[in-house]
Structures are given as structure tokens and as C-alpha cells.
């Protein structure tokens, strides 16, 4: 397992995304949310294999409590790193005291459920309803205050749209940035050069576009009909280079200079093992990277923005 050294801590390059352990989540997930005992076993297994970083959020159903149960049996050379997230309601974002009260209550609840005295990394979970020009007037102060009262170690920003990242780049209190990035979604890579991220830990999520990459193109309906042709082309590229879609998806994001870590979920022990193997694969080469960047340079926002998908299509095991 490869680790990223950041602020005197080590974060596994593969971060276990746990939304699937707390909710029935994803377009390609046909088995549903794993049972609690299975989820705990998966987290412990991942840790034993060297994955020490786990991504969750207050909104991820029972995910935080599952992590708390699993942590009780995690012992090894590396401390586990827990990343969780909070939201600020749009009707509170313009009033510091109301926003602070909301966030503090959320953080205390996360600490209680996670059974922690201090959260390793706490990120603002941006909603499309938030006005970032308004939020950023209060967010750095809120994060700073949480650090001062010793409730969190690192502050962060979980972007909804890649362009959101620009709001966090100059804020020293926001050390960790999480952003969607995948074979179809290159917006972050085009917007932010690596040199601007020198003092940030950058985490890519939606590596498999919530499982869309594994769906039969001909089965798509509604708003996702627009994804049929790109998915067919993706399969052609994978076959031409004798690679699986999983290999393409992970290596493409992992090998970008702007990215430090990848959040990838799993629904079984086998998927965890596969994810670890995928992270250890050799680079796919500049020729393939350039082909992907060129082929999928102009994607329909409907395809790369899951919140826009119709409910009929939204039922991904792996993110």
C-alpha cells in the first residue's frame, strides 16, 4: 500500500469510501446495502490490508456508526484516519452564529457516533443549494474555531462541482480538498494546475462515476441515454489496450499530478482486494491517458453530474 505523508500523518492512497455501508447507494448496485456485520468485517479487512483512511459523512446513514464498531478491533502500525463531512443549511449560511451552532451540533454528533474525541479530517460538504460566496465568509472561521477547541485536526472542502475548488485554494484552514474526477469528468484537471495544490491533500472521488461505467449502455433510459455513446467508446478503448474498465478508471485518476488519494467504495471483501490490486497496477501510459483526455474532453453535464440523473436510473455500488 502506498501512503501520502501530509502534516506529519500518513494517509493511504486508497481511501475506503463508506457511503455504500450506510445507504443503499449507486446505479450499478444490484445487491443493496451490506449487512452491518459484513460491513464491519469489510472495514477491518481493508485495514489489515493497509487501508488506514476511511471516508464518511453525517449524511451517509449508518456509515459513521459502522466505522466506530470496526475501529475497536483495528490495531496496527498506522493510526486509522477518519474523514467525515458536515453541511451548512442555505438558510443559515449568511448568519455566522446560526451556521456555527448548526456545524458544532453536527460535529458533536459525529464525534459521539464515531466514538472519537477528535476528528482527523472534517470537510464542508458543499450542496448545490449553497451560495459559496456567502459560505466562504464564515467557513474558514468555523474551521479555525473547531481546531482551537480541539475537535478537529484538519479542515477540508468537499466540492460539488470541480469549479468549487477555487474557493478553497487560498484558505489555509482548508488543508484537504475532495473533488469529483474520473474518465468522463476532467473539469478539475483542466481548472487547477498541480502547482496550485502544493499545500493541499487532494482526494478524488466518483472514480467509477457512481458505477455508471459498469452499466450496459443499452439499458440506460431517461436522462442517461446521453451516456450510451461515451460508454460504448470507453469499452472500445479498454478492449483496444487490453485493459479492463476498472484498470482504466483507477489508473487514469491515480496518475494525474493533481491527485494524491482516491476514494473508492466496495460491497464485498473481493472488491476491496480488487481495489488494492488496481491501485498497485503499473501506469497505463501517456498514449492512453491522452486518448482518454481527448475522447471525453466535452461531456454532457447530464452524464457527469449524478444529481441530474432521473430517479429511474438511480438505483453505484462502487463510486
Q: H or E stretch including 134?
A: helix 132-135
12-26, 55-69, 241-255: least confident range = 12-26
Interhelix angle 63-71/96-114, rounded to 10 degrees, is 40
pLDDT band at 76 (very low <50, low <70, confident <90, very high): confident
Q: What percent of the chain has pLDDT over 90?
A: 82
As a whole number, the mean pLDDT across the chain is: 92
Q: Which residues pair with 177 in a beta bridge?
A: 157, 202
C-alpha to C-alpha distances, 80 to 53, 55, 130, 233, 275, nearest whole angstrom: 6, 11, 31, 39, 18
pLDDT at 247 over 70: yes
pLDDT at 102 over 70: yes
Q: Burial, 150: exposed, middle or buried (Cβ in 10 Å; 0-12, 13-18, 19+)?
A: exposed
SS3 71: helix
pLDDT of residue 313: 46
Residue bearing cell 471516508: 55
Q: What percent of the chain has pLDDT over 70?
A: 94
| Cβ-based neighbour number of residue 301 at 10 Å | 11
Nearest 10 degrees: Cα torsion 200, 121, 253, 271 = 160
SS3 288: helix
Cβ-based neighbours of 64, under 8 Å, separated by 6 or more: 22, 56, 57, 58, 84, 110, 113, 114
pLDDT at 311 over 50: no
pLDDT at 314 over 60: no
pLDDT band at 310 (very low <50, low <70, confident <90, very high): low
Question: Averaged over 45-56, what is the pLDDT?
Answer: 96
73-77, 78-82, 178-182, 309-313: least confident range = 309-313
pLDDT at 125 over 70: yes
pLDDT of residue 28: 45
pLDDT of residue 124: 97
Is 3-313 assigned to CATH 2.40.440.10?
no
pLDDT digits (tens, 9 = 90+) for 195-246: 889 899 999 999 999 899 999 999 998 889 999 999 999 999 999 999 999 9
Interhelix angle 286-295/228-240, rounded to 10 degrees, is 170
Question: Averaged over 71-95, what is the pLDDT?
Answer: 91
Instruction: Give first-to-last CA distance, the chain, whole Å.
Output: 20
Question: Averaged over 43-53, what is the pLDDT?
Answer: 96
Rounded CA separation 169/88 (Å): 20
Rounded CA separation 270/16 (Å): 14
pTM given for the model: 0.92
CB 70 within 8 A of CB 45: no
pLDDT band at 78 (very low <50, low <70, confident <90, very high): confident
C-alpha to C-alpha distances, 142 to 92, 103, 122, 178, 189, nearest whole angstrom: 13, 8, 11, 18, 29
pLDDT at 316 over 50: no
Amino acid at each position: 500500500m502506498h501512503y501520502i505523508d501530509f502534516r506529519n500523518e500518513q494517509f493511504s492512497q486508497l481511501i475506503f469510501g463508506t457511503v455504500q455501508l450506510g445507504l443503499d447507494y449507486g446505479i450499478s448496485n444490484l445487491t443493496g446495502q451490506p449487512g452491518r456485520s459484513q460491513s464491519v468485517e469489510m472495514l477491518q479487512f481493508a485495514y489489515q490490508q493497509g487501508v488506514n483512511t476511511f471516508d464518511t459523512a453525517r449524511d451517509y446513514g449508518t456509515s459513521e456508526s459502522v466505522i466506530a464498531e470496526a475501529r475497536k478491533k483495528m490495531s496496527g502500525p498506522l493510526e486509522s484516519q477518519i474523514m467525515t463531512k458536515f453541511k451548512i443549511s442555505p438558510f443559515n449560511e449568511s448568519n455566522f452564529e446560526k451556521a456555527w451552532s448548526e456545524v458544532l451540533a453536527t460535529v458533536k454528533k459525529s464525534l459521539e457516533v464515531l466514538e472519537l474525541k477528535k476528528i482527523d479530517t472534517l470537510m464542508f460538504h458543499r450542496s448545490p443549494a449553497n451560495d459559496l460566496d456567502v459560505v466562504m465568509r464564515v467557513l474558514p472561521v468555523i474551521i479555525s474555531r473547531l481546531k482551537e477547541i480541539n475537535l478537529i485536526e484538519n479542515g477540508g472542502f468537499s466540492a460539488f462541482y470541480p469549479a468549487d475548488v477555487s474557493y478553497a485554494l487560498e484558505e489555509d484552514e482548508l488543508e484537504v480538498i475532495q473533488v469529483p474526477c474520473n474518465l468522463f469528468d476532467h473539469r478539475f484537471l483542466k481548472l487547477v494546475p498541480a502547482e496550485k495544490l502544493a499545500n493541499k491533500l487532494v482526494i478524488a472521488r466518483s472514480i467509477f462515476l457512481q458505477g455508471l461505467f459498469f452499466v450496459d449502455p443499452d439499458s440506460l433510459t431517461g436522462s442517461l441515454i446521453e451516456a450510451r455513446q461515451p460508454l460504448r467508446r470507453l469499452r472500445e478503448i479498454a478492449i483496444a489496450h487490453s485493459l479492463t474498465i476498472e484498470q482504466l478508471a483507477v489508473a487514469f485518476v491515480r496518475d494525474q499530478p493533481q491527485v494524491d488519494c482516491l476514494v473508492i467504495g466496495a460491497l464485498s471483501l473481493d472488491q476491496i482486494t480488487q481495489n488494492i490490486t488496481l491501485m498497485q497496477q503499473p501506469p497505463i501510459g501517456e498514449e492512453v491517458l491522452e486518448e482518454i483526455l481527448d475522447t471525453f474532453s466535452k461531456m454532457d453535464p447530464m452524464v457527469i453530474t449524478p444529481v441530474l440523473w432521473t430517479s429511474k436510473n438511480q438505483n453505484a455500488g462502487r463510486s
